[in-house]
């Protein structure tokens, strides 16, 4: 405004250009007016540029404020959600810690049960193997005894020395069998006495056939050895069948126990 008024004043003072043209061109006042006019144009241009910059910056500020306001509102909503989630997570952590503690106890108990089951299975298997060996030895002795007693008295050649030695060996094997409580408990008293007399006096089976009947009866508690040997064979054959049946039964039970143990250990694992 001041620049415009100053320019007007200068123009009025200068007068018409036709009268004073030559003088005005060299007048200091004219130079000042010209400079002021140039300054005015520059100021106006600078003002327009600054206004554009201001408008642009104001627009950026407005959009930025809107965006930040939206971010703040979103952050507040997230904050509330996160606080709720933090509370839930803390509760879940406490629950899981209790579950972990319980699971550790369960794992410890599980391992202890596996150890106990393994120890018991090993003891059962060891007992089974020992029993199996004894049963097999007994069945072997019984089988040898039945085989040796087959045909006793059928021919005189039975009373040869090698046959006597065989019968003594058979009797020795049967002594081991008769020492087992499971054998004596399962036999009748009569059968037990017959076998016990044979085991105690196998030599009575070899009494000479030339002896008198009185001598044979008095010295040989079996009397006529052929019928007695048949009786003993039947008893021993029954004992052999019982042993083999027990072995098969024990094998089946052992297989079932082993299978159950393996299934248990698979479940525990």
| Residues 71 and 147 grouped into a single domain | no
Total domain count for the chain? 2
On whether residue 254 sits in a domain, the answer given is yes
Task: Let me know whether 241 and 150 are in one domain.
Answer: yes
What tens digit of pLDDT does each residue of 14-36 get?
455 544 455 545 688 888 888 88
Average pLDDT, the chain: 78
Domain stops at, among 34, 59, 76? 76
Residue 159 has pLDDT above 50, yes or no: no
191/261 same-domain check: yes
Kindly state whether residues 146 and 212 are assigned to the same domain. yes
Q: Is residue 100 part of a domain?
A: no
With respect to residue 245, please indicate whether it lies within any of the assigned structural domains.
yes
Do residues 51 and 151 both lie within one domain?
no
User: With the C-alpha atoms ordered 15, 20, 22, 23, is the resulting torsion angle positive or negative?
Assistant: negative
pLDDT in tens, 174-220: 888 887 777 777 778 888 888 888 888 777 655 443 343 334 444 44
Residue 244: which domain range? Answer: 131-268
């Amino acid at each position: 405004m001041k620049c415009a008024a100053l320019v007007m004043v200068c123009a009025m003072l200068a007068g018409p250009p036709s009268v004073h043209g030559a003088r005005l061109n060299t007048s200091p006042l004219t130079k000042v007016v010209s400079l002021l006019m140039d300054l005015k144009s520059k100021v106006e241009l600078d003002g327009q540029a600054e206004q554009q910059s201001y408008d642009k910056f104001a627009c950026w500020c407005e959009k930025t404020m809107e965006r930040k306001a939206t971010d703040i509102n979103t952050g507040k909503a997230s904050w509330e959600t996160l606080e709720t989630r933090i509370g839930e997570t803390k509760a879940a952590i406490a629950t899981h810690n209790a579950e972990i503690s319980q699971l550790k106890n369960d794992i410890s108990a599980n391992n202890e049960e596996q150890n106990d089951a393994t120890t018991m299975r090993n003891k059962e298997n060891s007992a089974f193997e020992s029993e199996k060996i004894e049963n097999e030895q007994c069945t072997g002795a019984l089988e040898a005894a039945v085989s040796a007693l087959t045909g006793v008295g059928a021919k005189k050649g039975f009373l040869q020395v090698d046959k006597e030695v065989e019968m003594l060996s058979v009797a020795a094997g049967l002594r081991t069998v008769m020492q087992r409580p499971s054998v004596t408990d399962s036999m009748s008293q009569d059968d037990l006495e017959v076998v016990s007399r044979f085991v105690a006096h196998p030599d009575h089976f070899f009494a000479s056939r030339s002896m008198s009947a009185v001598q044979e009866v008095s010295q040989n508690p079996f009397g006529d050895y052929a019928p007695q040997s048949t009786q003993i064979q039947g008893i021993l054959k029954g004992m052999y069948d019982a042993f083999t049946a027990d072995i098969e039964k024990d094998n089946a039970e052992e297989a079932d126990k082993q299978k159950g143990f393996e299934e248990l250990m698979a479940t525990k694992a």
